[in-house]
Amino acid sequence: MDIIAEFKKGGPAMYVLLPLSVLSLSVIFERLWFWLRILSQEKQIVERVLEAARENWEMAAEIARRATDKPIGRFLYAPLSLPQTDAESFRLALESTAEDEIAGMRRGEKLLETVIALAPLLGLFGTVWGLYQSLGAIKIGDLGTESTAGVTTGIGESLISTAAGLVVAIFSLAFYRLFQAFVVNQVRIFRKAGNDLELLYRQSPPDFSNRTREQLALNEEITQETTREKFTPPRKRGKNRFLEQPPEPPTETDITE
């Protein structure tokens, strides 16, 4: 079967379905690559961060920082990167980062939704257009003769666009549902990892006292150096003879002496 010939038989709607199918395929391949990358090491990152947080919070922060190229790493590193925090700020950092990461995971869904909605309608439009062209060529005097065989063939060819639109829509819908399932699973993983990390924080909060002292000492040293560099002692100004009081005139006693 000649694909190009069948494509041309589908009518003008096929020329719109073609770019839609290309866009859908590009989103599908990009999302598949995205999910394959993050799902391969996600569980291992969560386990390593939680295990390190039970003993050393700074080590847990370092492990999470090295995994910031993945959504789960950025999610766990957000509260651990704060210089000093309380339980409420810790929870808010987890929630805000989770919202951003989940929104990034849904990238491309709107395009797939558009393709799923438009592809069947475009296919139906191509069929209606083909039927209109075929039925318009029928003459009343030709009914029941062999000349109507071409019209029947044209009606059959007009259904190609409907079949093509349904194929594009069904293919896009299958992967759309798959990606939604991945997102729902990620929400569950994020919630569990965040709850476990917050529970560890409440049981044994990290000690920021040493870090605070070091930071204060460093800030004080920087301030002193900056002040020393910028401070210049005022130059000793000479006496202004015009502002001094004139000497008192000598008295007669002084002249006599």
Q: Is residue 194 within 8 Å of 75, Cβ to Cβ?
A: yes
Other C-beta atoms lying within 10 Å of the C-beta of residue 90: 20
Using alpha carbons only, what angle is made at residue 172 by residues 171 and 175, rounded to the nearest 5 degrees?
A: 90
**Between 85 and 146, residue with greater pLDDT:** 85
Summarize the confidence of residues 237-246 as an average pLDDT. 42
What does pTM read for this prediction?
Answer: 0.69
- Report pLDDT for 86: 82
- Report pLDDT for 39: 86
**Between 218 and 48, residue with greater pLDDT:** 48
According to the 3-state scheme, what is the secondary structure of the chain? CCHHHHHHHCCCHHHHHHHHHHHHHHHHHHHHHHHHHHHHHHHHHHHHHHHHHCCCHHHHHHHHHHCCCCHHHHHHHHHHCCCCCCHHHHHHHHHHHHHHHHHHHCCCHHHHHHHHHHHHHHHHHHHHHHHHHHHHCCCHHHCCCHHHHHHHHHHHHHHHHHHHHHHHHHHHHHHHHHHHHHHHHHHHHHHHHHHHHHHHHHHCCCCCHHHHHHHHHHHHHHHHHHHHHHCCCCCCCCCCCCCCCCCCCCCHHHHHC
- Report pLDDT for 126: 84
Confidence category of residue 50, pLDDT binned at 50, 70, 90? very high
- Report pLDDT for 250: 47
**Between 153 and 156, residue with greater pLDDT:** 156
List the chain domain ranges.
11-120+169-209
Whether 177 shows a pLDDT value over 70: the answer reads: yes
- Report pLDDT for 51: 92
- Report pLDDT for 114: 94
Confidence category of residue 188, pLDDT binned at 50, 70, 90? very high
What is the pLDDT of the chain when averaged over all its residues? Answer: 77
